[in-house]
Structure 1
């Protein structure tokens, strides 16, 4: 991992009319990785914008039955994390712990896909906050980004996701027989990205020796970590003064 030095990559909001929760990490003009909600209805203008940013691969973390036809022509690599329908209720911390312990190889495979793609990869699930949040956090930490900055970026998703998905989540949860406490936890699962949820997952990964050890133990190789570090460093160098989030039109 090149020692214990940690860096700070800028995070830039990317405005897409046909998706949401889209942010690029690194240079505004050429991020080294992008995160987003689903892109199934991406318009030609949205696709053109992403391609102009260098996006040449979409890594879709959803299960096959979570999406229909895709409207865009960017190559897609399917990398489902759960291997079954995503949970509709429960606590974020418990679900993240299950992914970290039971789906480690799948999480690692998604990070490896980012490292192996020679251009810019865009990672998404449905809302771009949980599955995407974990994969992006692992990739950024493996690349040397500062943990505080990584967690702060994760936490931003809630403010974007909640307005878009509140009605969808309510309809889904209305169909379940949940107690008030269970309903509150499920709403948090569907709509929020509290910093403490990601912190709990990262603490668990630290108990396994840290991000690099975790990834190397579950399918990554040292050259994958090096590729992530080099790509992030190159993108950081293109925006050394831009350490705060700035919008991308």
Structure 2
């Protein structure tokens, strides 16, 4: 995934700069008119919002939104990245797969986001790209780029949470909200492998063969 600039978005990457099929970012509430024009030029036809309803704010863009709440509850404010990712993969497979399905169904490109664009987005993007034929190495390399992009935007929020916990938990809270270490996504990939790989995981949770084929075609066309 390659970093791109879209006015009003942060932590933005696309799988290709010319005709991407997949983009990822943080929350789009500040997307400007110029940013919307830029997304339209990249043929973004749907924005896949992984947040819970209580997290969303007003938007002014005219791009279709597919809402797929991944947690099904209030997002965790504390805990380890590895435990949270594994919990989502083991208990929220239907939601993760629904998000991948929305990507597969996009007529053009899909933009996937949560709040920071690193955790929920990281899992959904990983599953979609792995099913499309991208290597684990590429998935890890993409994931680790989020931390430096997220920190300037989310540090104040993370610090507010960190002051409310025991000093021994502070580092883990900041890691959860601000970092994207390779070992965290590597743990998630190990859970996916344990369940037969991304394609088997998505099939098990309801993704039809034609939608898996659509992901592979998209990746092949943008390679």
Tell me whether the two structures share a fold, i.e. TM-score over 0.5.
yes
1:110-129 CA distance string (max 9 Å, x none): 00110011211100000100
Q: CA deviation at 1:169?
A: 1.1
| C-alpha distance after superposition, 1:89-128 (max 9, x if no partner) | 0000000010000101100110011001121110000010
Counterpart for residue 29 of structure 2: 40
- The residue number in structure 1 matching 2:191 is 204
Aligned equivalents of 1:31, 1:17: Cα separation in 2: 18
- Give 1:16 shift: 2.3
CA RMSD of aligned residues (A): 0.9
Residue 173 (structure 1) shift: 2.7
Aligned residue number for residue 103 of structure 2: 114
After the TM superposition, which segments of 4 or more aligned residues of structure 1 sit over 6 Å from their partners? none
Structure number with greater CO (CA < 8 Å, separation at least 6) is 1
State the alpha-carbon separation in 1 of the partners of residues 188 and 78 from structure 2.
18
The normalised TM-score by structure 1 is: 0.88
Matching residue of 1:72: 61
Q: Which residue of 2 aligns with 1:29?
A: 18
Unpaired runs of 5+ residues, structure 1, are 1-10, 237-249
SS in 2 for 1:31: coil
Aligned-partner Cα distance in 2 for 1:119–1:61: 19
Report matched runs for 1:217-228 at 5 Å. Answer: 217-228=204-215
Q: Which runs of 5+ in 2 are unaligned?
A: none
Query: Which SS does the other structure have where 2:201 is aligned?
Result: helix
Question: Counterparts in 2 of 1:114-153, with a 5 A limit?
Answer: 114-153=103-142
How far has the Cα of 1:205 moved from its partner?
1.2
Match for 2:177 among 162, 187, 190?
Answer: 190
Structure that is richer in helix per residue = 2
Report the equivalent of 1:6.
Answer: none
CA contact (8 A) 2:161 2:173 kept: no
> Post-superposition shift, 1:182?
1.2
Alignment partner, residue 56 of structure 1 = 45
